[in-house]
Amino acid sequence: MKLIEKPELGRYMTFELSKEKPVHGWFWYKEGYAPEIVDYAIQDCKPAAILDPFCGVGTTLLTAKEKAIESVGVDASPLAVFVSRTKSDDYDAADLEGALAFINKTTKTKPESASSGRSVVSLDWEFELFSPRAAFPKRNYNEILAIREAIEQEEGRPRDLLLLALLSILPQASIIMKDGGVLKIDRNKRALPAKEIFRRKVKRMVRELEGRPQGHSPSVFLGDARSLDIESESVDAVITSPPYLNNIDYSKIYGLELSLLHMSAAEAEEVRMRAVRSFIGRRMDVSDMPPEVGEIGTRIPIIGTYFKDMELAMAEMARVLKDGGSAYIVVSNSVIHETHVMVDEILGQIGERIGFRDVEILVGAERVADVRPQKVRTRESVVVLRK
Ligand SMILES: C[S@@+](CC[C@H](N)C(=O)[O-])C[C@H]1O[C@@H](n2cnc3c(N)ncnc32)[C@H](O)[C@@H]1O
């Protein structure tokens, strides 16, 4: 296993730079990376078909599409699948006109609900953690539900664009803060007017889609990276970032968006059951933990189960890759219960044991974490594995 410094990749390991990029920036996903990581991997191995088994909001898939490369994406969250699909679909002029006609029709009239404070919509919005009413000023809450109900009447691709626009504005229209691993209500936060930011968002999306090259839309589906419904030896590259070992439960962090997408509280529990065990709250069973994890895996069971899940996901990557194919796994080393976990090295060692060769760890960035009594440097890196 080789450790290689690649500081030029460091700034692309977060979603920050994607925010302003056309289409990539439509839905803020803190856990995402920037398309330049995918560019790097594509240049390195020149794939004809790419898989992202933890596709998130579709950075890999959209970058592949932009380069006319075929790709497949899988995610355990219906929200991620919906966002990835909608961002990487093809739209014609009629779809874009449909989306604009919708905002002209619905956002110019003043809904009775907004002025009276009474809800005139029949939809019931359930969220498992707290009532969504608590997350928004009353006017925004009513406007969001009125728009959501109007979107129900739409069909096909314009409907998806509109729904994505609405989901993407929830953080700004709410008084919620996504703080570490939890959602907090912050009464001092200024929520922006929902109808207006929705309108602006749809316009931005239509503008960014105009004249975009069509074709090479990925196939994106709901699934589990540990057991993929994908043919063996069918892709040339896996370019991905799994959930980090950080105790964060994304089905909660994005729970409001997920519940507005499906209008159901039960969905979050299903996502949680499918997800890789990167957070506490799932049943722990460390009995068949990978040997590379060592003592910390039994002392802190979540570490053992995380790497067990990652071993299963890596075995699937090995199965679906063609001979000569490469996997690029973007990870961050973690500090958990004051224990520094070298996620990249452990994944590299597991990779070698299950048959990958020429394992490299490309170190992009280092952060200083406070692990009392001392400070440690944690890395963000790309683990490269060759089949
Ligand atoms: C770090 S994010 C990926 C972000 C992505 N690289 C991007 O730029 O948008 C990890 C994703 O893995 C998904 N996930 C968690 N467990 C999974 C599983 N067992 N199978 C597939 N996806 C899973 C989460 O829903 C999340 O979207």
pLDDT of residue 287: 72
Is 90 exceeded by the pLDDT of residue 150?
yes
- Backbone φ and ψ for 374, nearest 5 degrees, come out as -120, 175
Terminal C-alpha separation, the chain: 14
3-class SS at 338?
coil
Question: Mutation test of ligand 1: which of 75, 85, 278, 347 has the most ligand atoms closer than 8 Å to its C-beta?
Answer: 75
| Other beta carbons within 10 Å of 9 | 21
pLDDT average, residue stretch 271-291:
66
| Other beta carbons within 10 Å of 381 | 31
Protein residue with least CA distance to atom 15, ligand 1: 275
Q: From ligand 1's centre to the CA of 74, what distance in Å?
A: 8
Is 70 exceeded by the pLDDT of residue 110?
no
Mean pLDDT of the chain: 89
Tokens of 30: 């803190």
- Which of 18-27, 163-172, 283-292, 320-329 is least confident? 283-292
Domain with CATH 3.40.50.150 in the chain: 2-90+216-242+304-386
Protein residue with least CA distance to atom 22, ligand 1: 75
pTM for the full predicted model: 0.92
pLDDT of residue 183: 86
- Which of 65-79, 177-191, 303-317, 321-335 is least confident? 177-191
The half-sphere exposure of 351 on its side-chain side, counting CA atoms within 13 A, is 26
Question: Mutation test of ligand 1: which of 13, 54, 240, 276 has the most ligand atoms closer than 8 Å to its C-beta?
Answer: 54
Tokens of 228: 């993929």
Is 60 exceeded by the pLDDT of residue 173?
yes
Q: Which superfamily is assigned to 2-90+216-242+304-386 in CATH?
A: Vaccinia Virus protein VP39 (3.40.50.150)
pLDDT average, residue stretch 189-204:
96
pLDDT of residue 116: 45
Strands of 180-293, DSSP E: 182-185, 219-222, 235-240
Q: Of how many residues is the chain composed? A: 387
pLDDT average, residue stretch 33-51:
98
Residues with CB under 6 A from ligand 1: 29, 31-33, 53-54, 56-57, 59, 74-77, 80, 224-226, 241-243, 250, 274-276
pLDDT of residue 190: 94
State the pLDDT confidence band at 281, using cuts at 50, 70 and 90. Answer: very low
Is 90 exceeded by the pLDDT of residue 88?
yes
